[in-house]
């Protein structure tokens, strides 16, 4: 049996384990370990894995994960994003669909201090949905908008998927962060356009609210200052080269914690909860990385990656068609596999093909990858953010899924625009490289 055939069989075995409801990290570890044992034998397998795991988990860069995760959970438990929604509510809440516009824009602003889409959805759901119900907004559309807007947190820095992608592909995490800003703003605009057309066609689903005075708008703008300062300090310092991504995470967590304490918005219970949630999320991410390392080493040893690279490179089709077919397959897989897990599984295989053979920019591909695969967080059957929105807003899951499709297609449209105009993702990193 050839190594590539063994790798294919092991991958089938991996998906069988997934369909048997085994946790993704354990399924990756078991299938990868099995393949290595069959290909190399016991002693070489343990030698390879020992060196690989030690090298990965002793990496200083990996410590950025808990820092940025904690930053987001402090913001969640202290409700720092409340001022953003109040400001946008006062500014544009009088328009048809205005509260949905406001929650989307507030989610984008909150994403600047929170890299966790789950925390972003939970925060915006608890803040925004009561106001939407007060003005008789359609529950399905409202909760779907809140769920979809959580994906802004994975593009606008800080972003946990970008940290993992940077570690996986040995790209600058700072460059990935800055590359996500314009695509994140584009996705924000795409969601607003989607809401506009829904509200125009069915005004009763998103009615206009009362108009605030300019005095009320100016007063409410004070509530946005803290988030603006945190973003400028943390990411301005990162982009200026004052500190590394890991140090930026520490500075960000300290800045959000200080802001929450000064404004007296963080209780002792909330502080303990933020640490507990951070430990849970960090442990999940590290366990996924552990399983992905084993599976990835199996892919390398069996020669599966070079075989796939050769096959894709030999296709008699334009490279953009190969790219789109690859991304389409990954979008379908994201319906069934959580996005971070899918990233850890697929990127080690696809990255050399897309970058080395097809010749695409690695930073641009990372942005496109996140935009396409994030659709799986709002689509059935996985749709984690839909379940969070449903739980927080107390709306049936089926109702949330019913309203999600305008945002699903808006996400794909925004991703296609970034494919057509790659400068949207590469312009700011290019400036960053020129300055250094």
CA 384 to chain centre: 12
Compute CA distances 279 → 63, 285, 412, whole Å.
12, 10, 33
Q: Which of 53, 169, 154, 175 is nearest to 107 (CA)?
A: 154
Q: What is the 3-state secondary structure (H, E, C) of 75-121?
A: HHHHCCCHHHHHHHHHHHCCCCCHHHHHHHHHHHHHHCCCCCHHHHH
Name which of 319-328, 400-409, 417-426 the model is least confident about.
Answer: 319-328
Tens-place pLDDT, residues 334-390: 888 878 888 888 888 888 888 888 889 999 999 999 999 988 889 888 788 999 999
Tell me: pLDDT of 435 over 70: no
How many CA atoms lie within 13 Å of 166's alpha carbon, on the beta-carbon side?
A: 24
Q: Give the torsion through C-alpha atoms of 39, 45, 47, 52, to 10 deg.
A: 100
Residues of 39-55 as b/e, b for ≥16 C-beta within 10 angstroms?
bbeeeebeebbeeeeee
Tell me: pLDDT of 63 over 90: no
Write out the two tokens for 13. Answer: 């075995």
Compute CA distances 150 → 5, 154, 314, 325, whole Å.
40, 8, 38, 26
**How high is the pLDDT of residue 433?**
62
Rounded average pLDDT over 89-118: 89
CA–CA gap between residue 436 and residue 413 (Å, rounded): 33
**How high is the pLDDT of residue 383?**
86
CA–CA gap between residue 160 and residue 163 (Å, rounded): 5
Tell me: pLDDT of 163 over 90: no
Rounded average pLDDT over 141-145: 95
Tell me: pLDDT of 114 over 60: yes
pLDDT category at 137 given cuts 50, 70, 90 is: very high
Tell me: pLDDT of 432 over 90: no
Is 61 in contact with 173 (CB distance < 8 Å)? yes
pLDDT category at 396 given cuts 50, 70, 90 is: very high
**How high is the pLDDT of residue 412?**
93
Compute CA distances 9 → 15, 24, 42, 49, 351, whole Å.
10, 17, 19, 21, 22
Write out the two tokens for 379. Answer: 């689509």
Q: What is the mean pLDDT of the chain?
A: 87
Write out the two tokens for 416. Answer: 């296609």
**How high is the pLDDT of residue 80?**
82
How many CA atoms lie within 13 Å of 285's alpha carbon, on the beta-carbon side?
A: 24
Tell me: pLDDT of 436 over 60: no
Percentage above 90 pLDDT, the chain: 30
Query: Structural domain boundaries of the chain?
Result: 59-266+303-435
> What is the C-alpha radius of gyration for the chain, rounded to an integer number of angstroms?
22
**How high is the pLDDT of residue 132?**
92
**How high is the pLDDT of residue 434?**
60
Tens-place pLDDT, residues 171-221: 888 889 999 999 999 999 999 999 999 998 998 898 988 888 888 899 988
* All residues at 6 or more sequence positions from 188 whose CB lies less than 8 Å from its CB, including other chains: 104, 105, 107, 108, 152
């Amino acid at each position: 049996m050839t190594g590539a055939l063994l790798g294919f069989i092991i991958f089938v075995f991996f998906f069988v384990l997934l369909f048997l409801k085994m946790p993704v990290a354990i399924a990756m570890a078991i299938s990868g370990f099995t393949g290595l044992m069959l290909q190399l034998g016991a002693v070489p397998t343990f030698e390879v894995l020992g060196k690989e795991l030690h090298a990965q988990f002793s990496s200083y860069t990996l410590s950025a994960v808990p820092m940025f995760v904690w930053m987001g959970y402090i913001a969640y438990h202290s409700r720092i994003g409340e001022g953003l929604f109040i400001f946008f509510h006062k500014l544009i809440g009088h328009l048809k669909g205005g509260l949905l516009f406001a929650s989307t824009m507030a989610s984008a602003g909150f994403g600047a201090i929170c890299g966790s889409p789950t925390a972003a959805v939970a925060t915006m759901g608890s803040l925004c949905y009561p106001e939407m119900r007060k003005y008789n907004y359609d529950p399905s559309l409202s909760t779907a908008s809140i769920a979809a807007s959580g994906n802004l947190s994975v593009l606008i820095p800080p972003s946990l998927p970008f940290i993992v992608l940077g570690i996986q592909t040995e790209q600058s995490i700072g460059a990935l962060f800055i590359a996500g800003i314009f695509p994140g703003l584009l996705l924000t605009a795409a969601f607003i356009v989607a809401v506009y057309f829904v509200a125009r066609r069915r005004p009763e689903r998103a009615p206009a609210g009362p108009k605030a005075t300019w005095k009320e708008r100016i007063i409410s703008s004070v509530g946005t200052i803290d988030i603006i300062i945190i973003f400028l300090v943390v990411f301005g310092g990162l982009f200026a080269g004052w500190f590394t991504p890991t140090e930026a995470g520490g500075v960000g967590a300290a800045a959000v914690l200080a802001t929450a304490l000064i404004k007296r918005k963080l209780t002792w219970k909330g502080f303990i909860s933020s640490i507990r949630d951070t430990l849970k999320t960090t442990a999940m991410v590290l366990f996924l990385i552990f399983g992905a390392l084993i599976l990835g080493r199996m892919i390398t040893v069996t020669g599966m990656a070079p075989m796939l690279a050769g096959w894709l490179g030999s296709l008699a089709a334009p490279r953009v068609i190969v790219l789109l077919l690859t991304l389409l397959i990954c979008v379908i897989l994201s319906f069934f596999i959580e996005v971070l897990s899918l990233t850890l599984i697929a990127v080690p295989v696809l990255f050399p093909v897309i970058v080395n053979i097809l010749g695409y920019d690695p930073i641009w591909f990372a942005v496109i990858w996140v935009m396409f695969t994030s659709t799986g967080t709002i689509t059935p059957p996985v749709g984690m953010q839909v379940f969070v929105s449903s739980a927080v807003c107390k709306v049936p899951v089926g109702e949330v899924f019913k309203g999600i499709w305008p945002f699903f297609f808006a996400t794909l449209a925004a991703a296609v625009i970034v494919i057509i105009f790659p400068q949207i993702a590469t312009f700011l990193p290019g400036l960053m490289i020129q300055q250094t």
